[in-house]
Structure 1
Amino acid sequence: MAVYTQVSAEEMGVLLARYDAGTLVSAKGIAEGVENSNYLVDTTTDRFILTLYEKRVDVGDLPFFMKLLDHLADAGNPVPRAIKDKQGVQIQQVAGRSACLIEFLSGVSVSHPTAPQARAAGAALGQMHKALDGFEGARPNTMGIGDWHALAARCGDDLDAIAPGLGARVADELTYLDQHWPTDLPRSVVHADLFPDNVLMLGDQVTGVIDFYFACTEIRAWDVAVTHAAWCFENDGSGFHRDRSDALIAGYEDSHGLSPEERAAFIALARGACLRFLLTRAWDWLNTPADAMVTRKDPLAFLRRLDFYRDAPAGSLID
């Protein structure tokens, strides 16, 4: 469940009075997600998402996220803006939390993408990257390669409680990535978390890209690798789907494209994507109480992906 902070009807009414958004009809907590508290809000005039930012989102980063979403929306990308109130303010205070009233986008997140849906996601990612070529904002990646050693050290020997030998496997991978991580590829602001549950679809059409709270300045092609790892396997990390892989890359090529240098580095970038999510999931697995109202995500799902990329011949995934 992703409602950590309860908001009363009276508090919602006070918030909505700041906007030209009608009056409250209903509000329902949204269970999906683990980072923030989210409510589906219906008014007499429209439907919105109310997001309250919990401890994992640095409120100092919110102006960057708002500027990013406005930039992408202005360029025609299907992203939800934070709505400005009558005074032009986007970031509010609700129930002791920083909060935003956000545009509602139609669509559903798919749990088992098809190849056409993967192609549409790849195209949407490329369109975002194209739009961000001229974006002046920047934010450090707090989950980048420089942070993985520290996170692995914090997990320590407890990694082996998740799976025997996992600590040694992580150490080996860190050594490999230290030696092979590219340093001269183009960088830009990237989404960094484009899993299927962060893409809304109607049929094979992308109607929304959401949850930009890991967006940061990073190697642009790493964003493609993260998306590839998220979309091209079964949810447990098994069963690589070559048709989804080919389709996703084709969609990205249609709207942006990869350079020869980015293609050559793709396996290393994908291995880095897998290690990043393996480690953050491992940390959450080890530090989330079993009775918490948050579903822990299996770190081994990304170990299986990592093993696939490790064994994939160079150039075998991107022609």
Structure 2
Amino acid sequence: MAVYTEVSDDALRAFLALYEIGDVTSFKGIAEGVENSNFLMRTAAGQYILTLYEKRVKAEDLPFFIGLMEHLAQRGVTCPQPVRNRAGSALGELAGRPATVATFLDGLWIRRPNVRHCSEVGEALARMHLAGADFPLKRANALSLEGWRTLFGAAEARTDEVAPHLREESAAELAFLEAHWPTGLPSGVIHADLFNDNVFFLGEKLSGLIDFYFACNDALAYDLAICLSAWCFEPDNEFNVSKGRAMIAGYESLRPLGEAEIAALPLLARGAALRFMLTRLVDWLNVPTGAKVAPKNPLEYRDKLRFHQRVRSAVDYGLMR
């Protein structure tokens, strides 16, 4: 989450007049994250999140995201629910941007997850995959293999400003993954961005998943590979195998991995690490003037990528079979 677009009092008042949630009593921007403009809003009816869609989110994809959250909630996955206006639409426009209002979830995101947190995330991820199996809409992953070449091209000329030889290292990894990327794995709806700040906890109990604006159809095990990097490394970027074991076990408690998925997990983790390194690289080099956003360091994912390059099997992530 972040704030790129400011909202005037008059524009906000006119926008919310279309909804039946009462007058605003407090309104503030949320600076965390990097993709959309987000605001925490309290009205006479309760707390809500107002999102203005920026950057990589396309307006034509919003029905997929909105429908998915409603679909998942109907199947027991706790996630924000889009609030529909008086005309029955969950999508509006504010400050020249597509905009939605969504319900607020209780809980906090965990900066230093422990083994129990990782187990809960693994189980919640599998539950989401199962719940999304009959979701009728489809959305291709624009930030999978085909999109990485475009991302690299957008940053290539300045990549070595971030770290020496990063351009060469990134180009070599991209070429390797283009030649070896696994195909034919079980696929479905994935979250594709289930980082710490997109999962809420009450104590050690997971209370909800948020920010579905990268959700798409892709290999289910790729989603797990993203989570292994997001949750199971320590602050010094050393992999914690106990956390990895807990996450995989939590996931397999609801959806056991197939043999092809197990064999592909190291490659999927390499791809996930490259994807986030490249998007962070582009963001790091292109922070809009005046934006209330803290870009994330791409070198964190360069270091994680180097770990995944050394992995020989899923056992190295804690798989117990």
> TM-score band (shorter)?
over 0.9
Q: Counterpart of 1:313? A: 312
The match for 1:178 is 178
The answer on whether the counterparts of 1:2 and 1:31 sit within 8 Å (CA) in structure 2 is yes
Task: Note the 1:60-209 alignment, pairs <5 A.
Answer: 60-209=60-209
**For residues 66-123 of structure 1, what are the alpha-carbon distances to aligned partners after superposition, in whole Å with 9 as ceiling and x for unaligned?**
1111111111101111111222111112222221110010011111111101111111
Q: Distance in 1 between matches of 2:188 and 2:108?
A: 28
Tell me by how many angstroms 1:157 deviates. Answer: 4.0
Tell me the distance in 2 between the aligned counterparts of 1:205 and 1:44: 29
- 1:235 to 1:217, Cα distance in 2 relative to 1, 3 A: farther
Structure 2: 5+ residue runs without aligned partners? none
**Do 2:31 and 2:293's aligned partners in 1 also have CA atoms closer than 8 Å?**
no
> Does the C-alpha gap of structure 1 residues 151 and 28 become closer, same or farther in structure 2, counting only changes over 3 Å?
closer
Q: How much does 1:24 deviate?
A: 2.0
- Residues 1:10 and 1:188: Cα distance change in structure 2 (over 3 Å): same
Matches of 1:129 and 1:154, distance apart in 2: 32
The alpha-carbon deviation at position 244 of structure 1 amounts to 1.1
Residue 272 of structure 1 aligns with which residue?
Answer: 271
Over the matched positions of the two proteins, sequence identity in percent amounts to 44
Deviation at 1:2, TM superposition (A): 2.1
Q: Is contact 1:40–1:50 with CA below 8 Å preserved after alignment?
A: yes
Deviation at 1:188, TM superposition (A): 1.0
User: Is it true that 1:218 corresponds to 2:218 in the alignment?
Assistant: yes
CA distance in 2, matches of 1:110, 1:173: 31
Post-superposition CA distance 1:270-304 (Å, at most 9, x none): 00000111111112222236875422211111111
Matches of 1:133 and 1:201, distance apart in 2: 25
Q: 2 CA distance for matches of 1:188 and 1:104?
A: 27
Counterpart CA distance in 2 for 1:243 and 1:74 is 33
Structure 1's 257 and 4: CA in aligned 2 closer, same or farther, altered over 3 A?
same
Deviations 1:3-55 (A, max 9, x none): 22222334333333322312222212222222222111111221111111123
- Name the residue aligned to 1:55: 55
How many residue pairs match? The answer is 318
On the 8 A contact 1:235/1:301 being kept in 2, the answer is no
Change (3 A) 1:196 1:45: same
Paired residue type of 1:261: A
Instruction: Check the 8 A contact 1:24/1:42 in 2, yes or no.
Output: yes
Partner of 2:81, secondary structure, is coil
Q: For the residues of structure 1 that align with 2:289 and 2:94, how far apart are their CA atoms?
A: 29
2:233 maps to what in 1?
Answer: 233
Q: 2: distance between equivalents of 1:284 and 1:107?
A: 28
Counterpart for residue 260 of structure 2: 261
Q: Following the alignment from structure 1 to structure 2, what is the Cα–Cα distance between the partners of residues 128 and 182?
A: 23
Deviates more, 1:18-27 or 1:34-43: 18-27
Q: Deviating runs (4+, > 6 A) in structure 1?
A: none
Does the 8 Å CA contact 2:33/2:294 hold for their aligned counterparts? Answer: no
**Amino acid corresponding to residue 275 of structure 1 in structure 2:** L
| Residue identity opposite 2:58 in structure 1 | D
TM-score of the superposed pair, with normalisation by structure 1:
0.94
Counterpart secondary structure, 2:242: helix
Unpaired stretches in structure 1, ≥5 consecutive residues? none
Deviates most, 206-215 or 28-37: 28-37
Q: Let me know the Cα RMSD of the aligned residues.
A: 1.8
CA distance in structure 2 between the aligned counterparts of 1:134 and 1:292, rounded to whole angstroms: 39
Q: Are the aligned partners of 1:57 and 1:213 in contact in 2 as well (CA < 8 Å)?
A: yes
User: Displacement of 1:136 after TM fit?
Assistant: 1.3
Of 308-317 and 282-291, deviating more is 282-291
Moved more, 282-291 or 213-222: 282-291
Worse overlay, 178-187 or 299-308: 178-187
Task: Provide the rounded CA distance (Å) in 1 between the counterparts of 2:85 and 2:109.
Answer: 29
TM-score computed with the length of structure 2 as normaliser? 0.93
Q: How has the CA–CA distance of structure 1 residues 95 and 246 changed in structure 2, closer, same or farther, with 3 Å as cutoff?
A: same
Secondary structure of the residue aligned to 1:49 is strand
Give 2:285's aligned residue: 286
Counterpart of 1:14 in structure 2 is: 14
- In 2 relative to 1, CA 262–30 (structure 1 residues): closer, same or farther, beyond 3 Å? same
Cα contact 2:92–2:98 (8 A) shared by 1: yes
